């Protein structure tokens, strides 16, 4: 067990009742040494669980799997990062027959990745994926549809702990682009990050503000343009959603408006929604909807991946 | 390979291009003899796939699994039949570490069973499942909301091949009750078939008609009462859906009306919809929606279960 400060390795296991106390007494954390010790212990049915959002643990995945240890993670970096590394991780998981579990990288505990994987594995062809992929951005536009003010809603989302410490990490759409690329790769489509056309949510001036504080001060400047778009949509009985659309021809992240006939219309809270149109699901798509962020649902999803790993070792 | 008339067993495999021809030249089908030969062949990574809707193959599941052969099936009978047999099948699958795959028993290719299983396995608590579980009945009420006439829609569904040969098998709600019981058991709830309160869709007189022909002749008699309910709902801006509601306290199948704020409002075609409210998905439920019937999507789901079985043998 390790966090960014301390690490603790005990082949007898770590008491779940005392882990915080025990970990705080552990040695100074060092990922390379953690991984080496884990490998040398050579415990049966081992699983490495990376719950960071950082790129550095991903560089260890290949070497961990080569030691016949499975990897389970909600960390988006490996699957949305360098294509060569991604392919190598997938190949080694297959070669060593270990689990590489990352269901929670898109939609947290929602069954998005597994469903897409089953569709593709069974010979279905993806014609279109249309998705709201950020709980934070979903919250802001859901509330905007009810008549809220954009800048106040960003602050509210920040106060509720929905956003990253720097809300531009959410509103800059980088996180949504990462999830889009994960879906693209899982769908086996021949597209890369450069093929994802991003229509920014915010004007350039705000994104490039020198600090979070100045960004938040400038934020009301976005109210007028976004407010006007929301008002226009409302006049037509529609609502704005920031949506990723993926087809074999390309991918786009943009604000779109939806009427009451669409499953996107009634989203609420931090709901994500992923709609798969395929050769078999053509007239009517396969839709998965629900809260796509939050500690409890993400932890549940990570635990489900760990249980599948345990079963794979039986 | 076997259908109800002929069976064919070839340890070298059966050519996918010529299977119909080859099967028609096989011996007279006999399930007991098929199972015995399959066991005695003792092939590695074997999987028995029951694509019937009949109860009799289910009696063989235990003995098949005891021979270390996995079972994959869209057949609802084993999981909605005798509780003792169901428990025995699940126990033997666990003891022999073979797959018992039945994702397609509810919602065809939609990821309903796997999602519910993951929620329960990871310690979430199911507080409510609300679901449209019949593609056929869904089609009828979706079209009824647009102003169709009930008896004509039943005939249309029959002509489109959505119904069983006897449409009362769909409209009698027995099939929906079976799926409801499968969800109840998967959720680990302490309820049985007798705890499912069924509000019939049709008057008793129609259900008990002496033949399908007479049933179809009597069908217009139901138009008035169902038409009146649909009209009342429409006046309130709502639509009728025949829905299964499962809580730890009991289960009910009944006609309910839904407004535009509900995911049930916009169903179309043969859409199924399953909504899980749990301890973790409390404010907003986890929703899975899409076509829940049809040969292609069901075959895709069965194939996904077979692929998982193949992976389990690696």
pLDDT of residue A284: 95
Q: How confident is the model at residue B139 (pLDDT cuts 50, 70, 90)?
A: very high
Question: Taking the CB of residue B92, how many other CB atoms lie within 10 A of it?
Answer: 18
Are A280 and B124 in contact (CB < 8 Å)? no
Query: Does A22 lie in the same domain as A54?
Result: no
Q: How confident is the model at residue B172 (pLDDT cuts 50, 70, 90)?
A: confident
pLDDT of residue A204: 87
Nearest-by-Cβ selection for B114 from A111, A284, A314:
A111
pLDDT of residue A160: 86
Query: Does B121 lie in the same domain as B159?
Result: yes
Provide the chain B residues 250-309 that lie in CB contact (below 8 A) with chain A. 260-263, 266, 268-271, 280-281, 283-291, 296-297, 300-301, 303-304, 307
In a domain, B49, yes or no: yes
DSSP assignment of A191-210, as one string? --GGGEEE--SS-HHHHT-S
CA distances from A265 to A140, A237, A259, B194, B254 (A): 14, 10, 6, 39, 27
Are A260 and B260 in contact (CB < 8 Å)? yes
pLDDT of residue B291: 95
Query: Does A266 lie in the same domain as A131?
Result: yes
- Is there a catalytic annotation at residue B160? no
Query: Does B163 lie in the same domain as B40?
Result: no
Residues of A taking part in catalysis = 179
Are B289 and A290 in contact (CB < 8 Å)? no
Query: Does B134 lie in the same domain as B88?
Result: no
Best CA proximity match to A116, nearest among A252, A304, A287, A292: A287
CATH number, residue B207: 3.30.360.10
Query: Does A261 lie in the same domain as A169?
Result: yes
Per-residue pLDDT of chain A (314 residues; tens, 9 = 90+): 999 999 999 999 999 999 999 999 999 999 999 999 999 999 989 999 999 999 999 999 999 999 999 999 999 999 999 999 999 999 999 999 999 999 999 999 999 999 999 999 999 999 999 999 999 999 999 999 888 899 999 999 989 888 877 888 888 888 999 999 999 999 999 999 999 999 999 888 888 899 999 999 999 999 999 999 999 999 999 999 999 999 999 999 999 999 999 999 999 999 999 999 999 999 999 999 999 988 899 999 999 999 999 988 87
Are B290 and A289 in contact (CB < 8 Å)? no
pLDDT of residue B62: 98
Query: Does A172 lie in the same domain as A62?
Result: no
pLDDT of residue A127: 98
Query: B314 CB near a chain A CB, below 8 Å?
Result: yes
As for how many domains chain A has, the answer is: 3
Tokens read off for B115: 């999602």
pLDDT of residue A164: 78
Closest chain B residue to A113 measured between Cα atoms?
Answer: B111
Query: Does B189 lie in the same domain as B167?
Result: yes
Closest chain A residue to B287 measured between Cα atoms?
Answer: A289
- Give the pLDDT confidence of B28-76 residue by residue, as tens digits: 999 999 999 999 999 989 999 999 999 999 999 999 999 999 999 999 9
Are A303 and B122 in contact (CB < 8 Å)? yes
A262 contacts on B by Cβ (under 8 Å) = 266
Nearest-by-Cβ selection for B122 from A119, A263, A307:
A307
pLDDT of residue B259: 95
Query: Does A210 lie in the same domain as A174?
Result: yes
Q: Best mutation site among A101, A290, A301 for testing chain B: the one with the most B CBs within 10 Å? A: A290
pLDDT of residue A165: 79
Contact B196, B181 (CB under 8 A): yes
Structural domain for A270, as ranges: 114-293
CATH number, residue A83: 3.40.50.720
Query: Does A96 lie in the same domain as A79?
Result: yes
Are A283 and B263 in contact (CB < 8 Å)? no
B288 contacts on A by Cβ (under 8 Å) = 111, 286-289
Q: How confident is the model at residue B314 (pLDDT cuts 50, 70, 90)?
A: confident
Query: Does A271 lie in the same domain as A156?
Result: yes
Q: CA B123, CA B136: separation in Å to the nearest integer?
A: 34
Query: Does B191 lie in the same domain as B156?
Result: yes
- Give the pLDDT confidence of B230-284 residue by residue, as tens digits: 999 999 999 999 999 999 999 999 999 999 999 999 999 999 999 999 999 999 9
In a domain, B1, yes or no: no
B270 contacts on A by Cβ (under 8 Å) = 284
Q: CA A99, CA A52: separation in Å to the nearest integer?
A: 18
Alpha helices in chain B (DSSP H): 19-24, 31-41, 61-66, 77-80, 83-96, 112-121, 135-145, 150-159, 168-171, 174-186, 204-207, 212-218, 220-235, 295-312
């Amino acid at each position: 067990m390790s966090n960014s400060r301390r690490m603790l390795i005990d082949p007898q296991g770590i008491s779940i009742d005392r882990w915080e106390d025990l970990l705080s007494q552990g040695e100074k954390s060092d990922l390379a040494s953690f991984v080496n010790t884990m490998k040398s212990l050579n415990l049966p049915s081992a699983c490495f669980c990376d719950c960071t959002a950082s790129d550095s643990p991903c560089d260890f995945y290949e070497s961990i799997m080569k030691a016949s240890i499975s990897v389970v993670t909600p960390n988006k970096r490996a699957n949305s990062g360098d294509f060569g590394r991604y392919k190598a991780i997938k190949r080694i998981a297959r070669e060593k027959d270990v689990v590489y579990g990352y269901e929670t990288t898109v939609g947290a505990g929602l069954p998005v990745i597994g469903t897409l994987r089953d569709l593709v594995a069974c010979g279905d062809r993806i014609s279109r994926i249309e998705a709201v992929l950020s709980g934070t951005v979903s919250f802001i536009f859901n509330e905007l549809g009810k008549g809220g003010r954009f800048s106040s809603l960003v602050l509210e989302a920040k106060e509720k702990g929905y956003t990253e410490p720097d809300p531009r990490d959410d509103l800059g759409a980088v996180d949504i682009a990462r999830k889009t690329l994960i879906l693209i790769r899982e769908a086996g489509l021949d597209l890369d990050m450069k093929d994802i056309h991003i229509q920014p949510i915010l004007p350039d001036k705000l994104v490039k503000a020198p600090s979070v504080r100045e960004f938040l001060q400038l934020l009301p400047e976005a109210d007028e343009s976004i407010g006007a778009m929301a008002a226009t949509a409302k006049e037509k009985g529609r609502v704005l959603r920031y949506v990723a659309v993926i087809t074999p021809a390309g991918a786009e992240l943009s604000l779109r408006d939806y009427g009451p006939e669409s499953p996107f219309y009634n989203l609420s809270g931090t709901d994500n929604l992923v709609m798969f149109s395929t050769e078999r699901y053509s007239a009517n798509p396969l839709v998965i909807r629900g809260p796509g962020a939050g500690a409890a649902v993400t932890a549940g999803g990570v635990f489900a991946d760990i249980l599948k790993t345990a079963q794979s070792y039986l």
